[in-house]
Amino acid sequence: MKESTLVSNNKTRNSVWPGLDSAALVHSAAVFRYIRELIRSAGGVLPFDQYMEAVLYAPGLGYYAAGARKFGEDGDFVTAPEMGDLFGHCLAREAEQILAAIPDAVVLEFGAGSGALAETLITALAQSGRLPSQYNIVEISPDLRQRQHERLTPLCKRYGVTLQWQESLPQSPFNGLILANEVVDAFPVTRFRVERGQLQRAGVRLDGDAFAWDWMDDLDADGMEAQLAQRHQLAEGYVTEACPRAHAWIRALGSCLKQGVALIFDYGFPGDEYYLSQRDCGTLRCHYRHRAHDDPFLYPGLQDITCHVDFSALADAGREAGLQLLGYTSQEAYLLSLGLMELAAPRDDDDQRAILARSAQIKQLVLPSQMGEACKVMALGKAMEHPLAGFDLRDRSASL
């Protein structure tokens, strides 16, 4: 990816994408001004991870912290639980076994989005008689917390489940199931490149009334980026990302989990595949109204920015944090192991439309050309005796 192709320009910005109303553009301009001040206070160049943090999470301004629709057909992207209830029903089968094995188990969902997964899971667990007494959510976005509250409070009242929001992972010992679907790919990443044999860190500078890339020579020689560059022998010109925050998050998981499982679902690969020589532009992707592109400077605050997950790095961080790798596979193999096809079988009261909708959902979830192979599942845990059912068909832990 050449720097020039990434420098955005306000005129193209306004003409490239349809569907932008004036309120959205006013909001994006406010985000632009906020980040411009951050850049000025940082002395002219803001490290990219701080830019990503601000455009996604700055209170009242960032993509996740303001009122953008985000999910579903009217939003910017669709996640597995948003497609229908099959993903949640499969997961409920795994959850039943985990919850049955742990006394006083609690479910904690990290980054619960619209509450779709929680809704299906609580309903399915109620039907199977395996409801936990408590369903906890850690959600950074006040707007989404409100949506979760409206959607889940009546359901939890009906089933007698205590629903709570927490600011962060628990500080005290936690027993139960931790879920994170498409959250780690939304953690801010550092971006770096190999230039004349040295590593440089990406930053963001002002270029008139737009943002542009800049490169700084201030990377820590022992930092994560240097270790990755050495391990994967990154060549001259290679541009990629690292996610030190994912490591910090796994460390926090390791400190709080006493007995239980963390299931992490996300787009990503093992390290050797992530840092392939051919993947020399990294995996940064932006999502706006179901269009994916690679310019994080377009419409600040209006588009999602994600980066694929290096699952080998997560597994290493897990080991260091005292967590056992309990399984790693594709979303396709995981859902099929949990009986996706049986759960999707036609029901007596199905009409033609329901059958068609369910088969469309199956295709999206498992076809390799859709989410089936690109999305992976990793289970990390402690003090769990029995293997997890989701990895029955295929466990690719050895590839990490």
Instruction: Give the residues lining the site for ligand SAM (CB under 6 A).
Output: 64, 71, 79, 81-82, 110-113, 116-117, 138-141, 144, 181-183, 186
Least distance from ligand SAM to the Cβ atom of residue 117, Å:
6
Question: What whole-number distance in Å separates Cα of residue 355 and Cα of residue 359?
Answer: 6
SS (H, E, C) 311-337: HHHHHHHHHHCCCEEEEEEEHHHHHHH
Least distance from ligand SAM to the Cβ atom of residue 299, Å:
17
Least distance from ligand SAM to the Cβ atom of residue 57, Å:
7
Q: In 10 A of CB 160, how many CB atoms?
A: 9
Question: What whole-number distance in Å separates Cα of residue 306 and Cα of residue 284?
Answer: 6
Q: In 10 A of CB 137, how many CB atoms?
A: 23
Neighbouring residues of 297: CB distance < 8 A, sequence distance ≥ 6: 6, 7, 8, 204, 210, 211, 212
Which one, 143 or 392, has the nearer CB to ligand SAM? 143
CB 162 within 8 A of CB 133: yes
Least distance from ligand SAM to the Cβ atom of residue 364, Å:
13
Which one, 113 or 301, has the nearer CB to ligand SAM? 113
Which one, 147 or 382, has the nearer CB to ligand SAM? 147
Neighbouring residues of 242: CB distance < 8 A, sequence distance ≥ 6: 189, 190, 192, 224, 225, 228, 310, 313
Least distance from ligand SAM to the Cβ atom of residue 113, Å:
3
Characterise 121 by phi-psi region: left (phi > 0), alpha (psi -120 to 50), beta (else). alpha
Least distance from ligand SAM to the Cβ atom of residue 306, Å:
7
Which one, 234 or 378, has the nearer CB to ligand SAM? 378
Residue 143 Cα to chain centre, angstroms: 17
Which one, 150 or 272, has the nearer CB to ligand SAM? 150
Which one, 85 or 182, has the nearer CB to ligand SAM? 182
Least distance from ligand SAM to the Cβ atom of residue 303, Å:
12
Report the residue number whose CB is nearest to ligand SAM.
111
Least distance from ligand SAM to the Cβ atom of residue 152, Å:
13
Which one, 10 or 244, has the nearer CB to ligand SAM? 244
Which one, 199 or 340, has the nearer CB to ligand SAM? 340
Least distance from ligand SAM to the Cβ atom of residue 48, Å:
17
* Structural tokens at position 64: 């996740």
- Among candidate residues 376, 379, 269, the one with its CA nearest the CA of residue 324: 379
List the beta strands (DSSP E) in the chain: 46-47, 106-110, 134-138, 162-166, 174-181, 190-195, 198-207, 210-216, 239-242, 257-269, 285-288, 291-293, 304-306, 309-310, 324-330, 375-382
Which one, 120 or 200, has the nearer CB to ligand SAM? 120
CB 76 within 8 A of CB 83: no
Question: What whole-number distance in Å separates Cα of residue 249 and Cα of residue 44?
Answer: 30
